[in-house]
């Protein structure tokens, strides 16, 4: 198979590419996908998925990811096939190895939302078609691509900004940490550090710092703190996610107790830079990680984030599939 030049101007090798982690993309690729997402937002004519089918393999519930991918695939000329939690039984009814091998013979791409990131890595390792992470316990790269588009639209760029994440050092926080600093934005996370389990792991913090170094940014920091007020000092973006992720429902009471004091509200926003954006990947647990009404706060861009999922994912699909 010949190398091809895809519409975002990068030469993809014949080897298939996956998007399992946001760090699977170089900073240059990441920038070009953001640019392409913005172009595709105003030009709905490209149909690089014409004649292609895409499996949407979901182990967990979904509103934004499922609908935006379904619409994106349809608008790009492709055929989406949704496989819900009852249908496949990834790792129980069928091994990830077999699912990867079988689906590769039917579809051109596998989009998977899984409980365990290991299952996703296994799918990617054995599928001969691109695998896209639609949320795992470790990462949420498609969300972060949409977030980058949203920040770019509202702030004109990412370089030189500071994003502060308040809450659980989970999948969303990890993808933000791995993605944004490589594009020139500082990242601070505030977690209740006495309970170490909510910390973002050192490995991710260090990988992010390594990517900053590679991109030769001198003044980009990647920092973990305890105090939300300290975290939002000089922040241009304040971001939060649920304290109780899908699959952690049995820990709800404990988590609510441990995260007391980490609610994002107008008072905390007032401690960030004037005009700082408020962001949330949704779904929202009002009265927990945010106060009621926070998504309609004048500085909130949470609904724009949700809408940009469509455009960011179109650009991701085009990048991974066009020419294949």
Terminal-to-terminal C-alpha distance of the chain: 9
Supply the DSSP symbol for 201: P
Pick the binder of ligand NVA from 6, 170, 204, 263 (CB under 6 A): 170
Minimum Å distance from CB 68 to ligand NVA?
Answer: 12
- Whether 47 and 70 have beta carbons less than 8 Å apart is answered as no
C-alpha to C-alpha distances, 278 to 166, 221, 237, 281, 282, nearest whole angstrom: 11, 20, 6, 11, 12
Pick the binder of ligand NVA from 23, 25, 112, 172 (CB under 6 A): 172
Q: Note if the bond before 283 is cis, omega within 30 degrees.
A: yes
Instruction: Count CB neighbours of 106 within 10 A.
Output: 11
Q: Closer to ligand NVA at the Cβ: 10 or 246?
A: 246
Minimum Å distance from CB 191 to ligand NVA?
Answer: 13
Residue 279: CA count within 13 A, CB half-sphere: 30
The full DSSP string for 294-312 is: GGGSTTB-HHHHHHHHHHH
Between CA 167 and CA 189 the distance in angstroms is: 8
Between CA 321 and CA 36 the distance in angstroms is: 14
Does position 116 interact with ligand NVA (CB under 6 A)? The reply is no
Letters for 76-115 (x = contact with ligand NVA by CB under 6 A, - = none) are ----------------------------------------
For residue 109, the SS3 value is strand
Q: Closer to ligand NVA at the Cβ: 162 or 309?
A: 309
Q: Which residue has its beta carbon closest to ligand NVA?
A: 245
Q: Closer to ligand NVA at the Cβ: 107 or 135?
A: 135
- Whether 294 and 270 have beta carbons less than 8 Å apart is answered as no
Pick the binder of ligand NVA from 6, 68, 171, 204 (CB under 6 A): 171
Residue 8: CA count within 13 A, CB half-sphere: 25
Letters for 228-267 (x = contact with ligand NVA by CB under 6 A, - = none) are -------------xx--xx---------------------
Minimum Å distance from CB 196 to ligand NVA?
Answer: 18
Site stretch for ligand NVA (CB under 6 A), options 48-56, 116-124, 167-175, 264-272: 167-175
Minimum Å distance from CB 174 to ligand NVA?
Answer: 10
Minimum Å distance from CB 136 to ligand NVA?
Answer: 8
Between CA 30 and CA 23 the distance in angstroms is: 9
Letters for 123-142 (x = contact with ligand NVA by CB under 6 A, - = none) are ------------x-------
Residues 275-294 binding ligand NVA (CB under 6 A) are 281
Site stretch for ligand NVA (CB under 6 A), options 20-28, 51-59, 147-155, 164-172: 164-172
Strand extents, DSSP E, the chain: 4-5, 11-12, 53-58, 79-83, 109-113, 131-133, 162-166, 186-190, 222-225, 237-240, 277-280
Minimum Å distance from CB 282 to ligand NVA?
Answer: 7
Which spans of this chain sit near ligand NVA (rule: CB under 6 A)?
135, 170-172, 241-242, 245-246, 281
């Amino acid at each position: 198979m010949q190398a091809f030049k895809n519409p975002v101007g990068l030469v993809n090798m014949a080897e298939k590419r996956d998007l399992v982690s946001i760090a699977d993309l170089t900073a240059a690729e990441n920038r070009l996908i953001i640019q392409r997402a913005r172009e595709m937002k105003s030009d709905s004519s490209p149909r690089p998925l014409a004649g292609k089918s895409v499996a949407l393999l979901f182990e967990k519930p979904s509103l934004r990811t499922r609908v935006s991918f379904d619409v994106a695939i349809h608008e790009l000329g492709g055929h989406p096939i949704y496989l819900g939690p009852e249908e496949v039984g990834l790792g129980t009814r069928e091994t990830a190895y077999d699912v990867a091998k079988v689906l590769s013979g039917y579809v051109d791409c596998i989009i998977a939302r899984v409980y365990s990131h290991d299952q996703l890595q296994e799918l990617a390792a054995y599928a001969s078609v691109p695998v896209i992470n639609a949320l795992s316990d470790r990462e949420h790269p498609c969300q972060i691509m949409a977030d980058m588009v949203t920040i770019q639209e509202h702030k004109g760029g990412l370089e030189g900004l500071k994003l502060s994440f308040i809450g659980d050092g989970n999948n969303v926080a990890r993808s933000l940490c791995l993605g944004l600093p490589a594009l020139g934005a500082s990242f601070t996370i505030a977690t209740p550090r006495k309970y170490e389990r909510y910390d973002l792991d050192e490995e991710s913090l260090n990988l992010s710092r390594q990517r900053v170094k590679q991109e030769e940014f001198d003044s980009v920091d990647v920092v973990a703190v305890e105090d939300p007020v300290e975290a939002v000092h000089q922040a241009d973006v304040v971001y939060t996610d649920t304290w109780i992720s899908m699959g952690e429902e049995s820990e709800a009471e404990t988590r609510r107790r441990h995260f007391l004091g980490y609610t994002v509200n107008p008072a905390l926003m007032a401690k960030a830079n004037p005009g700082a954006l408020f962001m949330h990947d949704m779904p929202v647990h009002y009265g927990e990680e945010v106060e009621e009404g926070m998504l309609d706060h004048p500085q909130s861009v949470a609904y724009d984030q949700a809408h940009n999922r469509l455009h960011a994912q179109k650009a991701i699909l085009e990048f991974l599939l066009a020419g294949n």
